[in-house]
Amino acid sequence: MLLSLLGAIAAAVCFGVASVLQAVAARATAVGEGVDPRLLVRLLGRLPFLLGTCLDLLGFAAELAALRSLPLFVVQAAIAANLAVTAVVAVRVLHARLSAAEWTAVALVCAGLALLGLSAGHESPADVSLRFKLVLLACTAVVAAGGVLAGRLRGQARSVALGLAAGLGFGFVAVGSRVLKSFAPLDVLRDPATYVVAGGGVVALLFFATALQRGSVTTTTAAVVVAETLMPALIGIFLLGDGTRHGYTWVAVAGFVTAVAGTLALARFGEPSAEPEGTAAESATE
């Protein structure tokens, strides 16, 4: 149990540092029209994004290990808390300034994760039917189509819609990982959950990068956090039988709400290459 919780936290650290590296590359890459799959190809040609992607893969491995024995609501809250890591890293790397309220939000994230760790029950990989996995795969395809349509919107609606699509993609990565039963090569290739994980990851990265290039950082990131935490948590509780230790339900609820609220307060760090206060002015005077 403790090792799994540490795995979820390690995943958050990997994702948080990766966000800083990928953000620098995303802002320096040419902007296209709508949702352009070639954006990921262009980004992978930039070293910071490539390094960030490698960290994402390490983070996914840690997330996958955590999902073998922890409920989805615990792991997803921990993963969303990578924004607290990003905020702290941005202070050192990008010279961002955190307000007292934002430092308080970092503390709330840590407190919420501590409560979730205290309340978490032990879970095993979920035993679901083939039909369930095929429905997940179909839902991932629907999210992909919806994200493409969202790319045609304008203004705030575009940021929200792309953020929700990206968050749902990340959420399906978690759910698909939760229902993977075997890692034997042939089993992995035959399991529809594998393609839920792969498809969800690709569309999530594409929609998130697209939204951050031309949309509101805070709005996009807030939408991602809401979708990637709530959807998997609800599926885990109502369809996969995720639960808490006996008598710790309200501790888990308090921890989840606290961690997500703290994360939402740090939403501007979803793309920290947006220059922090004071940086733009300093650059203009140089």
Provide, rounded to the nearest whole percent, the portion of the chain with pLDDT above 70. 86
Q: CA-CA distance, 199 to 44, in Å (whole number)?
A: 18
Does the pLDDT value for residue 215 go beyond 90? no
pTM of the predicted protein model: 0.83
- pLDDT tens-digit profile of 149-206? 998 888 788 889 999 999 999 999 999 999 988 888 899 999 999 999 999 999 998 8
Categorize the per-residue pLDDT at 228 as very low, low, confident or very high, splitting at 50, 70 and 90: very high
Beta bridge pairs of residue 244: 120
H or E element at residue 246: none
CB neighbour list of residue 87: distance below 8 Å, 6 or more residues apart: 96, 98, 102, 106, 266, 269, 272
What is the length of the chain? Answer: 286
Q: What is the pLDDT of residue 45?
A: 74
Location of structure tokens 């995943």: 11
Q: What is the pLDDT of residue 1?
A: 66
- pLDDT tens-digit profile of 2-47? 778 888 999 989 988 887 777 677 666 665 566 767 777 777 777 8
Q: What is the pLDDT of residue 262?
A: 92
Could you count the other beta carbons within 10 Å of the beta carbon of residue 129? 9
Does the pLDDT value for residue 97 go beyond 90? no
Q: What is the pLDDT of residue 28?
A: 67
Asked whether 275 and 283 are in contact (CB, 8 A), the reply is yes
Categorize the per-residue pLDDT at 278 as very low, low, confident or very high, splitting at 50, 70 and 90: very low
Does the pLDDT value for residue 242 go beyond 90? no
Q: What is the pLDDT of residue 91?
A: 79
Categorize the per-residue pLDDT at 48 as very low, low, confident or very high, splitting at 50, 70 and 90: confident
CB neighbour list of residue 252: distance below 8 Å, 6 or more residues apart: 73, 74, 115, 116, 119, 120, 244
